Amino acid sequence: MPGGVNSPVRSFAAVEEEPLFIDSGKGAVLVDVQGRRYTDFVLGYGPHILGHAPQAVVSAIRRQLAAGISYGSNTEAELLLAEKIVQMVPSIEMVRLVNSGTEATMSALRLARASTGRDLVVKFEGGYHGHSDSLLVAAGSGAATHGVPSSPGVPAATAADTVVLPYNGIAEVADLFMRLGDRIAAVIVEPVAGNMGVVAPDPEFLPQLRRLTSLHGSVLIFDEVMTGFRLAQGGAQELYGCRPDLTCLGKVIGGGLPVGAYGGRKELMSLMSPSGPVYQAGTMSGNPLVMAAGLATLEQLSSQPPYDYLEKTGSAMEDGARAVLRQRGIGSAVNRVGSMISLFFGVDSVRNYSEAAMASRSMFARFHQQLRQLGVLWPPSQMESAFLCVAHGAGEVDQVLSALASYEPAV
């Protein structure tokens, strides 16, 4: 396997460690193949809001497994999960289930371009929306830049239709719309950034994106693959009171199995084949095992909402981390929204990618190494969010705070 992994985020090269190989997980604990136990704050990069192997999800998968794995036809579970998504996310009137977040964002952009007859797409510096060609582009510094490929194999002509702006840079967005508003098909944004570390939107950022896209007839797409059903039952759009035209989902809605979805206003979604002319398909879309896991997860989240508990736990970690780092005189920024949290070392604040990139990677690597030695697993990249789940409590928070209390920035 290239680099010894099947996804680059699983490599520990950035923190100069060997990658982990996991044998099992339960609740907030992972056990590796050598029998070492870790309190886990990676949580599969987001889907395990109920912790690893929750009984309701495992039981649902077992029931479906006994009935069959894949049929190449429709199942009742697809309908039930779609109904649940529509019920919980007010901006979604119709939804299409796919196999990954990349499929969801790629398809949402195709739909936006088809519905507007335009080509340009706006994304934000540090925002990751999957690895489709038109979104895998390098960011500009400050002012708007037409995208250039950030990976060999991405055609320059494809990347040229993507414009990159600073996250939270609403003045730059307004200027771009004033100049090119009639050419912009869509704006795609993580309503809470999670792929440059956690960065919250400024108070006016999302409302102004909504105003500008509506004014110019562009489609506003929220990439809630990470935040959907994690920050609130209705995702970040519920938390911030801002409704997009299309929403991309993933992670939580599969209960830990591979999944993606995109949905929104009925008039837009009705353009998708076979109702309309915009084509997208997938042999494994709506897989029965995934639907069973996802439905069990969303039913648990709606019947026993964990969000107040997760906010309380996250607040304790945030406040505790700030206090310890301040007391020890270690320059840092602790960014958190709900059950998503990031620690940046060597900077005072982070509200966009440029500021995130100024954080000390070497200090973070040392932090990660020391946490792992103490039996705590944190994402091995400064640019990834850590996550909390319902299985985390005061004891797990204290493990992280104790590690910070003994943290040595240099060897």
Q: What is the enclosing helix (H) or strand (E) of 40?
A: strand 37-40
CB atoms within 10 A of CB 24: 12
Q: Which of 131, 215, 128, 207 is nearest to 176 (CA)?
A: 215
Rounded Cα gap, residues 371 and 17, in angstroms: 12
Q: Tell me the backbone φ, ψ of residue 244, rounded to 5 degrees.
A: -85, 175
Rounded Cα gap, residues 318 and 341, in angstroms: 8
Which one is catalytic: 40, 161, 223, 245? 223
Q: Are 228 and 250 in contact (CB under 8 A)?
A: yes
Rounded Cα gap, residues 168 and 206, in angstroms: 9
Residue type, 330: I
CB proximity list for 368: less than 8 A, separation 6 or greater:
15, 17, 378, 380
Rounded Cα gap, residues 178 and 41, in angstroms: 43
Whether 223 is a known active-site residue: answer yes
Which one is catalytic: 40, 251, 262, 353? 251
Q: Which of 223, 219, 240, 222 is nearest to 231 (CA)?
A: 240
CB proximity list for 32: less than 8 A, separation 6 or greater:
20, 21, 22, 23, 38
**Reduced to 3 states, what is the DSSP secondary structure of residue 337?**
strand
Which one is catalytic: 40, 84, 123, 128? 128
56-82: b or e for each residue (b if 16 or more CB lie within 10 Å)? bbbebbeebeeeeeeeeeebebbebbb
Rounded Cα gap, residues 237 and 191, in angstroms: 7
Whether 128 is a known active-site residue: answer yes
Whether 240 is a known active-site residue: answer no
Tokens for 156, please give them: 């320059």
Q: Tell me the backbone φ, ψ of residue 91, rounded to 5 degrees.
A: -75, -15
Distance of CA 312 to the CA centre of its chain: 21
């005061």: which residue's tokens? 394
Q: Which residues are catalytic?
A: 128, 223, 251
